[in-house]
Structure 1
Amino acid sequence: MGRFQPPHAAHVGSVQHALKHAPRVLVLVGSANLARSVHNPWSAPERTGMFRSALRDGGADVRRVTFRPLPDDFDAERWAAAVREQAAAVFGPAAALALGGFEKDASSAYLRWFPGWSRLNVPQTPGLNATDLRRVLFGGQALPAGVPAAVQAFLSAFVSTPAFARLQAEWQAVTVARAALPPGLHLTEERWLWRAGERVALHTRLGPIGRGLWELPGCQLPPGEQPRAGAEAVFAHPARSLVAPAAAHVFLGVPPPAFGFHSVPLATALARPRRFFEDHHVILTRLLGLD
């Protein structure tokens, strides 16, 4: 399981290593429900295509590799349950399963969330990090070694698209916003969820971060300001926000007049998770009991 943003030689090597020890390998391409952002620039089909081509170029038998998209619920238990369901659907409920990976950092804690599965330790490739590859790409620098040729070809074409131009502007804006915050600061948001019949109130972002995406009406509070009481729920997953850790206090009802919004058919909003900023589609579906 991974985001593979983008796939690189260490990811390819992990699957090649797994193919030496198992007849079939399942690759779950994570965050498949999230909009393009500097954290998740490429869709699940785009990442699958890059990954599959890189494996084929490396001599792997791609007929033995199954790719499946995996949404991000920003909830560890839900996410782990979805992984187990995917594995059972592909291999069968009684299959003997091994989870391949190596302990990179705290984000690798999920490797311990599947008791009963055996472990396949994958050799670590030093010096490769998808975060650094994104930084180089959006910074206009040459990609380093370790990016498979198929991935390089895709990225070379991608930099000429409008999507790349928007993401590069977002990268610069996120970098500036992070630099302006004191170290270790946790942000607070107030958001409103208002459903009127079969329509829901949404706001379209206009700034460079998340431009054009839908969000729940509301705002980020100034540092040190406390949210009002009465929130229906608080969403504070450490990976939910692009700029810095942020807790969203979500209220049910009509948003205050200061926050502009427009009415969107609920069916349209539910069907388009990748049109939403950060985790706002997850918040919408969870609070409406539709997840």
Structure 2
Amino acid sequence: MTGMDGAVYVGRFQPPHAAHVGSVLQALNRAPQVLVLMGSANLARSVHNPWSAPERMGMLRAALHASGAELRRVTFRPLRDHFDAERWAAAVRGQAAAVFGPAAALALVGFEKDVSSAYLRWFPGWSRLNVPQTAGLNATDLRRALFEGLPLPAGVPETVQDFLETFTRTPAFTRLQAEWQAVTAARAALPPGARLIEERWLHRTGQRVALHTRTGPIGAGLWELPGQVLPPGERPRPGAQAVFDHPARALVAPTAAHIYSGAPPPAFASRPVALTTALARPRRFFEDHHVILARLLGVG
């Protein structure tokens, strides 16, 4: 092993596959301890993030155990999505400092595959522990195969296959399969390269906030800030308090959320929910609406 104190591996692992397992094994060959951070831990189930952080930890832990990894040298922690690069990178550094200490010599595990790997450059002072990409293997294709009822590609550990097989018999899978079909249809109906705009209202009355419960197949049963996604090409009304436009925040297409203060127009149904309840249940919210709520209230 080198002189580093530890390695940090950040990912969504939706689901874990052979490349993830191989990356952890390579990190264990180079570092005495590996911290695995499960991203998107605060987001509701969706076709983009079907499994909770504990579920993903269990899948990856089982796959590592089956591969002979020394699990006593691997630490798993959940990591929230902030849809803000600086906040997210600070959270990663904070998690690492809590596990290894503030002065530890650390390496970041990863490979440059596309713009989503830009985070590898956000940690000056850390070294890079590059791992090779497994050609043709990615979690996006695995999710597509699962939701479309196709054979899983090669590279899914047997323990993960067992978990996924059990998951396909749950109500959660049935809902997500319907969401997959709806998201696919919604994307196909948009013009190529479409970028959408939505209008949302943040209305707080005392210790309550107005929320709407989604009823369609996309995000069914989840809370959202009342409002609407505008038809392609339509402009939002002026006076937005804030705009949230992270490219990964929306399921169907890149969407900029314009947030307005005050009561929503009568056309947008909502009901008051206790703020303490809403803030305590991030995974009950659609997309990044809990992040928006907490950010604008100054608590996130």
In the alignment, which residue of structure 1 is the partner of 2:7?
none
- Residue segments in structure 2 that go unaligned for 5+ positions in a row: 1-9
User: 1: distance between equivalents of 2:69 and 2:23?
Assistant: 11
Q: Secondary structure at the match of 2:273?
A: strand
In the alignment, which residue of structure 1 is the partner of 2:152?
143
Q: Secondary structure at the match of 2:30?
A: coil
User: 2: distance between equivalents of 1:175 and 1:100?
Assistant: 32
Q: CA deviation at 1:54?
A: 0.2
Q: CA deviation at 1:49?
A: 0.2
Alignment of 1:14 onto 2:23: yes
Which residue, out of 259, 265, 283, partners 2:274?
A: 265
In the alignment, which residue of structure 2 is the partner of 1:72?
81
In the alignment, which residue of structure 1 is the partner of 2:122?
113
Q: Secondary structure at the match of 2:98?
A: helix
TM (normalized to structure 1)?
0.99
Alignment of 1:58 onto 2:67: yes
Q: Secondary structure at the match of 1:66?
A: strand
Provide, for residues 101-127 of structure 1, a one-character-per-residue CA deviation record: whole Å limited to 9, x for no partner: 111111001011100001111122111
Alignment of 1:42 onto 2:51: yes
Q: CA deviation at 1:290?
A: 1.1
Q: Secondary structure at the match of 2:27?
A: helix
User: 1: distance between equivalents of 2:50 and 2:28?
Assistant: 28
User: 2: distance between equivalents of 1:191 and 1:267?
Assistant: 21
In the alignment, which residue of structure 1 is the partner of 2:205?
196
User: 2: distance between equivalents of 1:266 and 1:43?
Assistant: 23
RMSD: 0.5
User: 2: distance between equivalents of 1:143 and 1:37?
Assistant: 19
Q: CA deviation at 1:79?
A: 0.1
- Which letter maps to 2:57? T
In the alignment, which residue of structure 1 is the partner of 2:13?
4
In the alignment, which residue of structure 2 is the partner of 1:178?
187
Query: 117-126 or 252-261, which moves further after superposition?
Result: 117-126
In the alignment, which residue of structure 1 is the partner of 2:295?
286
Provide, for residues 195-250 of structure 1, a one-character-per-residue CA deviation record: whole Å limited to 9, x for no partner: 00010000000000000000000001111111011000000000000000000000
- Which letter maps to 2:215? L
User: 1: distance between equivalents of 2:263 and 2:254?
Assistant: 26
Q: CA deviation at 1:269?
A: 0.2
Q: Secondary structure at the match of 1:20?
A: helix
In the alignment, which residue of structure 2 is the partner of 1:234?
243
User: 1: distance between equivalents of 2:227 and 2:133?
Assistant: 43
Alignment of 1:92 onto 2:108: no
Tell me the percent identity.
78
User: 1: distance between equivalents of 2:222 and 2:127?
Assistant: 41
User: 2: distance between equivalents of 1:29 and 1:104?
Assistant: 19
User: 1: distance between equivalents of 2:229 and 2:134?
Assistant: 39
Ranges of 4+ aligned residues in structure 1 off by more than 2 Å: none
Q: CA deviation at 1:142?
A: 1.4
Alignment of 1:155 onto 2:155: no
Which residue, out of 18, 27, 36, partners 1:27?
A: 36
User: 1: distance between equivalents of 2:145 and 2:50?
Assistant: 13
Number of residue pairs matched? 291
Which residue, out of 248, 255, 264, partners 2:264?
A: 255
Query: 115-124 or 57-66, which moves further after superposition?
Result: 115-124
Q: CA deviation at 1:32?
A: 0.1
Q: Secondary structure at the match of 1:239?
A: coil
User: 2: distance between equivalents of 1:125 and 1:150?
Assistant: 19
Pairing 1:198-237 to 2, within 5 Å after superposition: 198-237=207-246
Q: CA deviation at 1:167?
A: 0.1
TM (normalized to structure 2)?
0.96
- Residue segments in structure 1 that go unaligned for 5+ positions in a row: none
